[in-house]
Amino acid sequence: MTTNRTDKATFAAGCFWGVEVAFRKTPGVIATRVGYIGGHTENPTYKQVCTDATGHAEAVEVEFDPARVTYEDLLMVFWRSHDPTTLNRQGPDVGTQYRSAIFFHTPEQEAAARESVKALEAERVFRRPIVTEIVPAGPFYEAEDYHQQYLEKRGLASCHI
């Protein structure tokens, strides 16, 4: 008997366009969608989130097959996709909406994320301390359709960062 179980992971690593591509290319990832999480405004729009007043982060929700890719593997994609040592900024993008954050869905994801940070810090992978938030996932609001697979729709392989 085969079970088609999938799990969900949610990551914020700056502008969601390029981060989505990194996860979409990962074998075992079933689907991605970009959106907003971690704020206090219900059903925010991109325009609202860009004001830095809603508290939301631009994020990627990843649906994955845990038999093909582990959560720890996804964490490595996350760490390679951005600079987790810059507070509320990625490259030229500045504001809390561009913060580095892991939104965990289970206690196991939280433990894996915290262990991952400890390992990276111990190995001194980054020159500065990691400032990534590790917080429970709350409501995820899907971004407007034109943001979904934004770079693919434009024939681009990556973002400016």
- Beta carbons of 133 and 99 less than 8 angstroms apart: yes
Among 9, 12, 13, 15, which one carries the catalytic annotation?
15
159 counts as catalytic? no
Task: Label each residue of the chain as H, E or C.
Answer: CCCCCCEEEEEEECCHHHHHHHHHCCCCEEEEEEEEECCCCCCCCHHHHCCCCCCCEEEEEEEECCCCCCHHHHHHHHHHCCCCCCCCEECCEECHHHCEEEEECCHHHHHHHHHHHHHHHHHCCCCCCCCCEEEECCCEEECCHHHCCHHHHCCCCCCCC
| Residues marked as catalytic | 15
